[in-house]
Amino acid sequence: MQLGDLELYLLIAGHWKADGGLMFGVVPKVMWEKKRAADGNNMIDMACVGLIARIDGRVVVCETGIGTKLDEKRARQVALREPEGLLHSLRKVGIAPDEVDAVITTHLHWDHAGGLTRRDERGGLELTFKKARHFIQRSEWDFALHPDQRSQSAYYQEDFTPLADGNRVVELLDGDTEVLPGVHVRHVGGHTPGSQVIVFRSGELACAVTGDLVCQTPHLRVPWTMAADLDPLRVLEQKARLFEEAERHRWLLVLSHEPDQPAGYLEEGGRWSPERRLS
């Protein structure tokens, strides 16, 4: 879809399943299962959702999903489907990996950063987007290198450390900044120390890629947060701020793991209005 000067395409980098308790934390199952059905193993459907944007002749990719490096056992555990969804989404709009100018990842958890790297023909690691600049919060990078015991399983260093192996393609950010004209990142923390929301602006129009600040449509309720959030109170604060702006200025929101209605607008009273043109 066209949003002012922005040309936007939804990026679906794969489908998988996650534990419902993990996704809804302290929210009782009797409440969340009315909004999101779980299978016999308490797993709910998930998508890896991001955005492809053309702006001023540049191509920007937001989020890369799980990628293709999971071993067979782990891929079965999470019921991974369409692991090549990242490059498939790009091919649909006629973009080759070497034509991508910038990659922005909301944080470095395995289900958001896995597609930053892939296996080459010899089984070694290579960057998926060799010519792109990659923008990550410094606090996220440092934490991912040395996570606490609770967070260790969420970070796979093979996903992101090759970015720093002499390639000079990673730029570490310290807080809110405009990384390209019209492309802003907002450090929100909460879910992880360096989580960021990505905001595209064109005049009065804006589109925000929420990352795990807002995972699915049930999380449009401010108190509904994930068990994986390291700082739930900060998540509540940042969600409330984002929702107030999104409703008041009619921002287009892209929700990181929503499988059915991932892009839309927050209407008065918290009602979700899906955007059908973004595909």
Q: pLDDT tens across 134-170, in order?
A: 999 999 999 999 999 999 999 999 999 999 987 679 9
How many folded domains does the chain comprise? 1
pTM of the model: 0.96
What is the reported pLDDT for 259? 97
Helix (H, G, I), strand (E, B) or coil at 207: strand
Residues 48, 57: Cα–Cα separation, whole Å: 26
Residue 279 located in a structural domain: no
Residue 87 located in a structural domain: yes
- Domain with 133, as residue range(s), is 2-274
Could you tell me if 52 and 95 are in contact, meaning their C-beta atoms sit under 8 angstroms apart?
Answer: yes
- CATH number of the domain where residue 36 is located: 3.60.15.10
pLDDT tens readout for residues 196-232: 999 999 999 999 999 999 999 999 999 999 999 999 9
Residues 233, 100: Cα–Cα separation, whole Å: 36
Average pLDDT over residues 30-45: 96
**Which amino acid is residue 52, in one-letter code?**
I
